[in-house]
Chain A
Amino acid sequence: MTPVTPGIPTKGTPFTPSSDRLGVALLAVGVLLVVLAFRVEPMRASFGSIILYLTMVSIAAGSLFLIALEYIAGAVWSVPMRRANEFLAGLSPFLILLVVPLFLHIHDLFHWSHPEAMASDELLKGKAPYLNIPFFVLRTVVILGIWALFAALFVRNSTAQDISRDPALTRKNVYLAAAFLPVFAITITLTAFDWGMSLEAHWYSTIYGVYFFAGTVLTALAAGTLVVLNLQKSGSIPALRPDHYYSLGALMFSFVNFWAYIAFSQFLLIWYANIPEETYWFMARWRNGWQYVSVLLILVHFLVPYFALLSQEAKMNPARLRFMAIWLLAAHVLDLYWLVMPTYAPGITLGWVEVGFPLVGVGMTFLLLSWKTKRYNAVPIGDPKLQRGLDFRL
């Protein structure tokens, strides 16, 4: 196997020199802390676990979305970087591991899971055909199965192309992408409704799915950018042009704005209509210290990244992109914390119980990347669009 372009390395280069040991260490400490948290405060740990689950869903499913987007749009510029998304989409089959503890603590999480609460509540009775434990578990398992299936198919075709150089495989993935995108729209919305919105079973917001989608794509972009920058640093992928960095930065910038647009749309309509059964959700996030988190979220998720990524120079600067990618990942975790935790307690809950979850997330991602980079080429060397992608110019 010879590289299509001289200078493109083939597989075998580790993600980072110490990603193996780092991943194992983080995962071990994280799992220990999480297990301890579930023993000491099972309810609080369950809520923290939802944040971890939704973050990993964002990275895995969002990366799948970006892969599908590249194929369906016939995009050229992102081809040299597609493996980063494919590696991250490899998280999909492991999401089930994160969701099992949540199934075991379903009564700690969801008010609607208690039949006695449903019996005396007219509103919840109406939602009972959707919000019941068997259907809920079935939905989640089916959705995770769909994501794992599509991730496997996309990556199988893409890696098979490394050897066969067959353009028909690209064609196959285009059809897969066409099938996946509507499925993605439904599955990501249902995931947001099930694991985010149904925590407050009385409350509803039809834009909630789009809100989560905005954060999901932003997170996948940030994670993908971070992986691309690291792969470049380790020499696994060849030098990229400023035009590539500009495109990554511009996409992150646009989804920062899209998130703010959707977040404000959700707030504006509820504020305008001023109906008590809708406004209480925002009121819970404007009391007992949550108002500071709300303001912090606007700063962290919108204003700071907006100005940090505004200029052309900033978008072309890899150091700035790396910093902002980490920043935006943290912003999405803060966003999910803001969405989920007010249901657990009226006040702000933060302590050692919450520390284990990010460690688990980072640890499993590091291990996965380390395994994937050893096994696969970091550049899709057989893709017919690769050379054009490397020569990409705005």
Chain B
Amino acid sequence: MGNPLHSITALFASPDALVHAVQETVKAGYTRYDVHSPYPIHGIGHSMRLRTSPLGYFALAFGLLGAFGSVGLMTWITLVDYPLVIGGKPFWSWPAFVPVAFELTVLSASVLTVVTLIVFYLKFPNNSHPLHDTPYMKRVSSDGFGISIQSDDPAFDEASVRAHFARVAGTDIAAVYYDPEMIDHGQKLFDPRFIGLLIGVALVVSGGTYIALNKVAFMEPFNWMMEQGKLKAQAPSTFFADGSGMRTPVPGTVARGFLPYAFAGKPAEAENNLANPLAPTAEVLARGRTQYLTFCSPCHGNFGRGDSRLRGQFPNPPTLLSDKVQNWPDGSIYHVITNGQNIMPSYSGQIGRDDRWAIVHYVRALERAQSAKESDLK
């Protein structure tokens, strides 16, 4: 074997034997050695006279980062970015922050500490070590407790190390050789090839994610109901052949709660069969007045005199105060509003049934006001 020697390893029967052997190894003056066991042994660091690991300070810093970061973020959101009253509580309600701050403290302290450990202590992504893939490592990662004393120790001498291990009851004493070309102790985090790999992985993952989410399995993002799967009034639609989104009802459609007007084009029957269902109360008259002024007054004039406001753009209708209209029964006036007459169209589409009867009452009131009798003044 032309490869250089890395270390001499030995196994020990129990954690207690390991601790004893470590203490003896320290006493013997070795400094470049390492201890391996399948599980943490409390107090082994003390026996090895290791300095207290600074990793705890990293954990503290990351924990504080998580705590202050999350509280800061929630403070900014609730006070600056999007103040929202929730349950009548103050904007800055600290009890609600506690669970989030706790979780993020624990999360960032644990995850970032492990990342620190891997990057700075295990020299990630350097994954080669002479002890890997040796019978020694197979034992100490399952049921063995071992020490390896490295050849770069100032006090290293193969024969004396073997003698030392034998003296402290070590078994399976073995030498570990390594191939220098396979081993690189340097930090490879900033190796261009590693950075290139990271960028490549980032591109592939983000590209794949983009294609998967936008092309393969696209799901519409939530747009706050700005767009809804419905047609608005007057909007066009490609669904129907005529391109119109609005449809006319099927012929013969009847609105709920209403019967079609039975006397369309039959003024005589309307005159004989219709009676005003409303009593001429103040409310009905007020309603009739509003409706009259809205729909009737443009042509018939505010007082029914036939004095149109339309300035000759449309023929003036006859007065509503004539003897003919005054002698009409209510049903005839209702019929004219509903059915239309001469060039007056039907108003049944604009004015509701009860409103038409209210207008009839108001027209009666206008007639009486314009030709008041002596007895009305009393």
What is A's interface to B at a CB cutoff of 8 Å? Answer: 242-243, 246, 264, 267-268, 271-272, 274, 393-394
Given A274-B87, A274-B88, A393-B15, also A268-B95 (CB < 8 A): yes
Closest B residue to A273 by beta carbon equals B87
Which chain A residues border B99 with CB–CB below 8 Å?
A: 268
- 5 residue pairs from A and B, CB less than 8 Å apart: A246-B42, A272-B95, A274-B88, A393-B42, A394-B43
Cβ-defined contact, A272 with B42, below 8 A: no
Residues on A with beta carbons closer than 8 Å to the beta carbon of B15:
393
Q: Residues of B contacting A271 with CB < 8 Å?
A: 95
Q: What count of chain B residues pass the 8 Å CB interface test?
A: 12
A369 to B87: give the CA distance in the assembly, Å. Answer: 54
Query: For window 1-38 of chain B, which residues contact chain A by CB distance below 8 Å?
Result: 15-16
A394–B41 CA distance with the chains assembled, in angstroms: 7
- What is the CA–CA distance of A393 and B43 in the complex, to the nearest angstrom? 10
Where chain A touches its partner, the secondary structure class is helix
For the complex with contacts A274-B87, A274-B88, 9 further pairs of A-B residues with Cβ separation under 8 Å are A264-B98, A267-B95, A268-B95, A268-B98, A268-B99, A272-B95, A272-B96, A274-B89, A394-B43
- Bound-state Cα–Cα, A184 to B120, Å: 49
A262 → chain B, closest Cβ, in Å? Answer: 14
Query: Which residues from chain B contact A264 at a C-beta distance below 8 Å?
Result: 98
A242 contact set on B, CB distance < 8 A: 43
Query: How near does chain A come to B271, taking the closest CB pair, in angstroms?
Result: 67
With CB as the reference atom, state the residue of chain B lying closest to A265.
B99
Residue of A nearest to B56 (CB): A311
- Chain A residue with the shortest CB-CB distance to B93: A271
> Top 4 nearest A-B pairs by Cβ distance?
A394-B42, A271-B95, A268-B95, A274-B87
**Distance from B71 Cβ to chain A, minimum over Cβ atoms (Å):** 16
Across-interface contacts of B41 in A (CB, < 8 A): 393
Interface residues of B in 91-120 (CB under 8 A from A): 95-96, 98-99
Minimal Cβ-Cβ distance residue in B for A261: B102
Q: Write out the residue numbers on chain B whose beta carbons fall within 8 Å of the beta carbon of A394.
A: 42-43
Do A272 and B87 touch (CB < 8 A)? yes
Chain B residue with minimal CB distance to A270? Answer: B95
In the bound assembly, the distance between CA atoms of A272 and B15 in angstroms comes to: 51
* Closest B residue to A268 using CB positions: B95
Nearest chain A CB to B35 CB, angstrom units: 16
The answer for the CA separation of A272 and B41 in the assembled complex, in Å, is 45
A242 CA to B43 CA, complexed, in Å: 10
User: Contact flags (1/0) for B212-234 with A, using CB distance below 8 Å?
Assistant: 00000000000000000000000
Q: How distant is the Cα of A315 from the Cα of B217 in the complex, in angstroms? A: 55
Q: How far is the CA of A271 from the CA of B89 in the complex (A)?
A: 10
CA distance A242 to B98 in the complex (A): 35
Closest A residue by C-beta to B15: A393
Give the distance to chain A from B96, nearest Cβ to Cβ, in Å.
Answer: 7
Give the CA-CA distance A256 to B136 in the complex, in Å.
43
Query: What separation, in Å, do the CA atoms of A264 and B96 have in the docked complex?
Result: 11
Q: A274-B88, A274-B89, A393-B15 are in contact. Are A243 and B95 (CB under 8 A)?
A: no
Q: How far is the CA of A242 from the CA of B96 in the complex (A)?
A: 40
| Cα of A246 to Cα of B46 in the assembled complex, Å | 15
In the complex, the chain B residue whose C-beta lies closest to that of A312 is: B42
How far is A264 from B94 in the complex, measured between Cα atoms in Å?
Answer: 12
Residues in chain B near residue A267, CB distance under 8 A: 95
CB neighbours of A246 from chain B (8 A): 42
Contact B42 A243 (CB under 8 A): yes
Contacts of A274 in B (CB 8 A): 87-89
Task: Give the Cβ gap from A173 to chain B, nearest Cβ, in Å.
Answer: 29
Please name all residues of chain A whose beta carbon is closer than 8 Å to the beta carbon of B88 when the two chains form the complex: 274
Bound complex: CA A271 to CA B16 (Å): 53
User: Within the assembled complex, what's the spacing in Å between the Cα atoms of A267 and B93?
Assistant: 13
Which chain B residues border A272 with CB–CB below 8 Å?
87, 95-96
Task: Give Cα distance in the complex from A243 to B15, angstroms.
Answer: 14
Alpha-carbon distance between A268 and B41 when the two chains are bound, in angstroms: 40
Chain B residues, CB < 8 A from A268: 95-96, 98-99
User: What's the minimum C-beta distance from A8 to chain B, rounded to whole angstroms?
Assistant: 21
List of A residues within 8 angstroms of B98 by Cβ: 264, 268
Residues of chain A within 8 A (CB-CB) of B42 are 243, 246, 393-394
Instruction: Identify the closest chain A residue to B14 (Cβ).
Output: A393
Task: Report the minimal beta-carbon distance from B45 to chain A, rounded to whole angstroms.
Answer: 11
| B 74-99 to A, binary, CB cutoff 8 A, 1 in contact else 0 | 00000000000001110000011011
Q: Once bound together, how far apart are the Cα atoms of A272 and B88, in whole Å?
A: 10
| Chain A min CB distance to B19 (Å) | 9
Tell me the minimal C-beta distance from B42 to chain A in angstroms: 4
Q: How distant is B94 from chain A, measured CB to nearest CB, in Å?
A: 10
Closest chain A CB from B210 CB (angstroms): 39
